[in-house]
Structure 1
């Protein structure tokens, strides 16, 4: 079975912001961490989706924002009934200050959010290391301690490189060869 993986979290905001397409806008919304980030993307969508034939698309974005994105970003927040992107943008501009204060009151300050993001990254790296370890064991059999140590301390880039070298490397040493 073949598939194409689109990892929206691998794209940087700066890389996506310059693109005028709906997939980039969707990725930017998914990656947004602050209400201000969402506001910026909505302003772009309002500008892009002005034609009458894009009515359904504008409405789909509003429904997705109300039912998926905003409840995940602002749990428990009262979301008023809005019907279009301009109303959503105006509502966000009005509510950003209130929500920010609520987050601070609930202890969700920036440091805590960054800690949660860091924890997610560590968990993802552990998962990738686990997959590479299983593939190495299947290809080369029991692994020496130095391999486990390298996997535990690996960066995302190292894990990616090792996973690719695993396909062609004839020995463990060849897979972990750090020469560029």
Structure 2
């Protein structure tokens, strides 16, 4: 489309500048300093954009894994708390013994015991 326009040089410069600024604002960390023309440097731009997409996908995967780990840890902690609540309700075990069994801090078990007594 740019090549077909009678003002192609001006349009090319404006769009190229806009793309470069936008990518800088995104902190894209790709090498586009030599990019001077979308028409002439389209292969370089395509390669850099592909690298950016791959980097963003990798970042997204890493963030997803981290969120998954955090959610799993939270579910495991809640499961331990629920088991501790049952032990508190059904047995005469000490808070220290329940904490040892469920691998929770004794303060956490004391707090759960106080909650169940109310």
Range class of TM-score, shorter chain = 0.3 to 0.5
Q: Which of the two has higher C-alpha Rg?
A: 2
TM normalised by structure 1 equals 0.28
Task: Choose between structure 1 and 2 for higher RCO, CA contacts under 8 A separated by at least 6 residues.
Answer: 2
